[in-house]
Chain A
Amino acid sequence: MTRWGMVIDLDKCVACQSCTAACRMENNTPVAGKNQADMGRTILWNEVLPLANSESPDASEMLIPRPCMHCDDPPCVKVCPVQATYRTDEGVVLINYDRCIGCRFCTVACPFQVRYFNWFEPEWPEALKAHLNPDPEVAPRPRGVVEKCTFCVQRLRKARETAQAEGRPFSATDYVPACVETCTAHARYFGDLDDPNSLVSQLAASPRAFRLQEEMGTKPKVYYLKQG
């Protein structure tokens, strides 16, 4: 079985944030506006976060691009009262927007704060509206539900459809999420972690590889390659 995972090489990452921008265009996340952004209500499925290495004032800062970790043992899925969020057989954690009751239990249970809530009806300036991704799978989410990075499941579906139309078996290299495709520094890798020959599984085994908050035991499937 495929187990989708991602590797981000922090040595290559230049923190240009094009992954964040690409994600927004691919997945139709709404524009919060200045007031809401100041309140901390932007919806950024992928975010480049400055994380301090330690408490000391001369500590260096790591800039970490952070999608959903798609944990293999996801605490968000555990606490959802209605199974609005669930883990697929391929290890991707998704949300059923028609089911979510907006209790935000998952958002407080996720140790990575990668889940976002739709505080209001989603909005876009007119100029942007014309450029929304028409794919129905990423149709704007209604107010009052939770959303987050899906590893671009709509792209996975399209890749499968294409493979079928072309009459060939689907291969794990047929698809990457938008952030991986965009990354200017080619710092992101995506693929099947269960395939020992895949690039991601080999990079994930590298001595430079680490995961965020591994000690939480949620088994994240996003690996980072240490800087320097």
Chain B
Amino acid sequence: MAYWFINTPGIGSIIVFAVGISVFIAYLRMLRWIQTTPPDPDPKNETSTSDVDK
């Protein structure tokens, strides 16, 4: 029986951390993917501030 799997103290913690850490890493990579977008050669195209500026 696989009862030991849900019964052993510690395995639950491992599941919590495994799920948590993998989600965390996935999210971090998503952020990193956005961050590392190469900037345009022409800074005119950047829209980090309002269009009214230009």
Contact = CB atoms under 8 A, between A and B. Distances in A.
Q: Is there a direct interface between A and B, measured as CB atoms under 8 Å apart in the complex? A: yes
Interface of A: 81-83
5 contacts: A81-B12, A82-B9, A83-B7, A83-B8, A83-B9
A3 B8 CA distance: 22
Contacts of B9: 82-83
Q: Which 3 A-B residue pairings sit nearest by Cβ, starting from the closest? A: A83-B9, A82-B9, A81-B12
Interface centre among B7, B8, B9, B12 (most CB of A within 10 A): B9
Contacts, number: 5
Label chain A's interface by main secondary structure: loop
A44 B8 CA distance: 30
A92 to B, nearest CB: 17
A82 B16 CA distance: 13
A71 B12 CA distance: 24
Contacts of B7: 83
Interface in B1-54: 7-9, 12
B14 to A, nearest CB: 14
A82 B8 CA distance: 9
A95 to B, nearest CB: 14
Nearest to B7: A83
A57 B53 CA distance: 84
A82 B12 CA distance: 9
A83 B8 CA distance: 8
Contacts of B8: 83
Contacts of B12: 81
B11 to A, nearest CB: 10
A119 B9 CA distance: 26
A82 B7 CA distance: 9
Nearest to B9: A83
Contacts of A81: 12
B23 to A, nearest CB: 21
A81 B9 CA distance: 8
Nearest to B6: A78
A83 B9 CA distance: 6
Nearest to A77: B7
A102 B8 CA distance: 19
B4 to A, nearest CB: 12
Contacts of A83: 7-9
B1 to A, nearest CB: 14
A211 to B, nearest CB: 24
B12 to A, nearest CB: 7
A129 to B, nearest CB: 35
Nearest to A99: B9
Nearest to B10: A83
